[in-house]
Amino acid sequence: MTRISLETLGRAALSAALVTVMGIVGCTEGGEATDSGADTTGDGSDGADGGTAQTLTLDFRAAVNGADFACGAAAGIGSTGEDAQLDGLRMFISDLKLVGADGELVDAPIVADDTWAQERVALLDFEESCGDAGSAGTNTSVDVTVPEGDYTGVEFQLGLPFDLNHSDASSPDAAAPLNNAAMFWNWQGGYKFLRLDMKTGADASTAWNVHLGSTMCVSDTAVTPPATECGRPNLPTISLDSYDPTTQTIVFDAGVLLAGTDVTMDAMGTPPGCLSMPPDEAECGDLFGRLGMDFATGLCADNCAGQQAFTVE
């Protein structure tokens, strides 16, 4: 759309325009009035240089002690350096933001598709079809739309905010990726934000899993969503500086997450591993800290600044 500048209107035309329409300082080719404060170059989000929108692809990599995550055998897991068989790694991320050149956060809506993403949430799947334990297909990138400009950091939540977390994954109305039943507990508890499955022991027969999700969610039954936020949200905020989305990759390292955890140990009477429940403190405490959270409250400490599991390369 072309603006007609004040200079080209001429003195007489300018006077007539000011008399006829007070407060209008420009017009379109078709004569439609425009407000001089309107943003015609995109959404004008803080932290970018403005201009038209651009689509950026954020790449992710999953690792185990630096090496690429892959199904099957892995060594040096946990505080005792156990051998393990890796059976799957998936996670939800939500409410992505990029850091503009001026240091301000810019909302980065996700480009939706039919399998992995909708506007606020994406499912990352690194498991390469780990036999019967895994799922077909992988997804290691997320497309976002932001104003043109340079970006120097990223922020997102590992998991789902309360308003998205307590729908029904089995409902025919559930839109991808929230229709993934393997990432769902129930309406009361919501979804598994992070699902890392493995087996330990000499014959790799002892399950030990990390299922991160909100706990202490109160409702009448397991199939009833809670009306108020869960007692322990367990929703870490991941903030990464010095990140260029056009050249760098976000890395999640399961080995780092578990480095201080004894994966041979499990509290009696509880499911194997860390399932984010209050009885799982021994299994969950250190790894929660490596996500920047306090296990006792399920909240970030200092915006989860102490998290270690996610880095940039």
pLDDT in tens, 187-214: 899 999 999 999 998 778 889 999 999 9
pLDDT value of position 42: 37
Is the pLDDT confidence value at 44 over 50?
no
Neighbours of 119 (CB within 10 A): 14
| Among 51, 52, 79, residue whose Cα is nearest residue 65 | 79
Structurally, how many domains does the chain consist of?
2
pLDDT > 90 in the chain, percent: 66
Question: Does residue 47 belong to any structural domain of this protein?
Answer: no
Local confidence band at 96 (pLDDT 50, 70, 90 cut-offs): very high
Residues 27 and 160 in one domain: no
> Is 4 inside a domain boundary?
yes
Mean pLDDT of 230-254: 97
For 34, the domain range is 1-38
**Predicted local confidence at residue 276, as pLDDT:** 95
43 in a domain, yes or no?
Answer: no
Mean pLDDT of 103-124: 96
What residues contact 176, with CB distance under 8 A and at least 6 apart? 113, 114, 115, 116, 117, 118, 123
Least confident among 102-116, 189-203, 236-250: 189-203
Q: What is the pLDDT of residue 28?
A: 35
pLDDT of residue 172: 84
The answer to whether residue 46 is domain-embedded is no
Same domain, 28 and 134: no
Same domain, yes or no: 1 and 140: no
14 lies in the same domain as 163:
no
128 Rama class: left (phi>0) / alpha (psi -120 to 50) / beta: left
Same domain? 97 vs 173: yes
pLDDT for 222 equals: 87
Check whether residue 154 and residue 183 sit in a common domain.
yes
> How far, in Å, CA of 287 to CA of 294, rounded?
10
Does residue 98 fall inside a structural domain?
yes
pLDDT value at residue 135: 61
Q: pLDDT tens, 264-302?
A: 988 877 889 999 999 999 999 999 999 999 999 999 989
Range picked from 1-15, 28-42, 63-77 for highest mean pLDDT: 63-77
Q: What is the distance between the terminal CA atoms of the chain, rounded to a whole angstrom? A: 42
pLDDT at site 51: 65
Q: Output the pLDDT for position 238.
A: 98
Flag whether 286 is in a domain: yes
Higher pLDDT, 280 or 172: 280
| pLDDT score for 2 | 37
pLDDT of 35 higher than 60 = no
Residue owning tokens 């006077």? 15
Is 176 found in the same domain as 32? no
Instruction: Return the residue matching tokens 């509290």.
Output: 267
In eight-state DSSP terms, residue 132 is G
Question: If pLDDT is split at 50, 70 and 90, which confidence band does 133 have?
Answer: low
Give the separation between CA 197 and CA 297, rounded to whole angstroms.
Answer: 24
Co-location of 29 and 114 in the same domain: no
Residues 169 and 97 grouped into a single domain: yes
Q: Is the pLDDT of residue 113 over 70?
A: yes
CA of 52: how far to CAs of 40, 42, 195, in Å? 9, 5, 37
- Shared-domain flag, residues 197 and 107: yes
Mean pLDDT in residue range 21-50: 37
- Structural domain includes residue 62: yes
Can you give the pLDDT at residue 131? 61
SS3 track for 138-202: CECEEEEEEECCCEEEEEEEECCCHHHHCCCCCCCCCCCCCCCHHHEEECCCEECCEEEEEEECC
Could you tell me which residue, 38 or 307, shows the higher pLDDT? 307
